Copies of this chain bind each other. A is one copy, B any other.
Amino acid sequence: MSLLVVGSMAFDSIKSPFGEVERVVGGSATYFSLAASYLSPVRMVSVVGRDFPKATLDLLASRNVDTQGVTVAEGDTFHWQGYYDFDLNTAHTVKTELNVFSDFAPVLPESYRDTPCVFLGNIAPSIQLDILRQVRSPRLIALDTMNYWIESALPELKQVIAKVDIVVVNEGEIRELTGEYNLVKAARALMSWGPSRVVIKRGEYGVLHVAGHHMFAAPAYPLETIFDPTGAGDSFAGGFMGYLASCGDRTLDEMDYRLATMYGSAIASFTVEAFSTARLQSLSQEDISARLSAFRTLTEFTI
């Protein structure tokens, strides 16, 4: 089953305790699409400038990602500059140059409008709403957001949250969004606005998944070498949604959502092993299966 994603494509300039890179390919939709492409076909909606490498668009196309919905606009690509200290859970922004992204007003290609799974990446809630007006009765809609939108566009954000099935956010964001510090209470508050599931990303601590009275906690994989956490959350979302899309028409049950969470966690654990998309774009199905098994070994116990 196809999966539509709308989000950013970008250049990132990143400093971490383990190195420094300038203007490497990044963006939430890029990480999401590469991650999801291991599991299902992806339809991408984004905008880049004339300076964006054709090689990346070609790579995406070669990996089952439809880039028809990626506009190449006059001007420069979105550029994020930031750094990490040893605490790799916190990204510090130095500079954000929106460039062509500031006029982003996507019009979906006709061939995208019946996509059954939709992921609204971290962009303005008004654009997220606009995308939902353009798709025809998707089966599953998920959304990501960030503190910037919580602070500047809360009414629109609540409007779009009411229309989605799953919210994927990090723990700081859900606390800010709901005003509840306790994550279980925060998840329940968020679900009272409409969504039936909340997936809370906790960086190196993993993921907490709440749906009705079900809870699922998955650790992040404890790695000895983490070079760059950029894109880990988007890769997680890509693997998560990619697996759900791969289930096709059948009714999803709790165990599907759990396995989706593990696919997301497994793929994200590779992303952080190198800067930019280097590791993410070169995985094999065997790499992913082996990491899934490693997750099982990491978490299993017998009562």
Contact = CB atoms under 8 A, between A and B. Distances in A.
A106 interface: no
A99 B202 CA distance: 41
A301 B222 contact: no
B301 A262 contact: yes
A59 interface: no
A255 B301 contact: yes
Of A255, A261, A298, chain B has the most CB atoms within 10 Å of the CB of A298
A208 B216 CA distance: 17
A21 interface: no
Nearest to A292: B303
A243 to B, nearest CB: 11
A224 interface: yes
A222 B217 contact: yes
Interface string A156-188: 000000000000000000000000011111000
A299 B216 contact: yes
Nearest to A181: B86
B298 A216 contact: yes
Most buried by B among A86, A206, A261, A299: A299
Contacts of A215: 222, 298
Contacts of A86: 181
B182 A216 contact: no
A215 B297 CA distance: 8
A85 to B, nearest CB: 9
A240 to B, nearest CB: 13
Chain A interface category by residue count: 35 or more
Given A224-B184, A226-B182, A301 B261 contact: yes
B222 A208 contact: yes
A136 interface: no
A193 interface: no
A259 interface: yes
Interface string A12-43: 00000100000000000000000000000000
A182 B258 CA distance: 27
Interface in A248-303: 255, 258-259, 261-262, 292-293, 296, 298-303
Nearest to A255: B302
Q: Which of A86, A205, A261 lies at the interface centre, i.e. has the most chain B CB atoms within 10 A of its CB? A: A205
A302 B262 CA distance: 10
A219 interface: yes
A93 B226 CA distance: 33
> Closest 6 interchain pairs by CB?
A217-B219, A258-B301, A205-B205, A86-B181, A184-B224, A184-B222
12 contacts: A86-B181, A184-B223, A185-B224, A208-B222, A216-B298, A216-B299, A217-B298, A218-B299, A255-B301, A258-B300, A259-B303, A296-B303
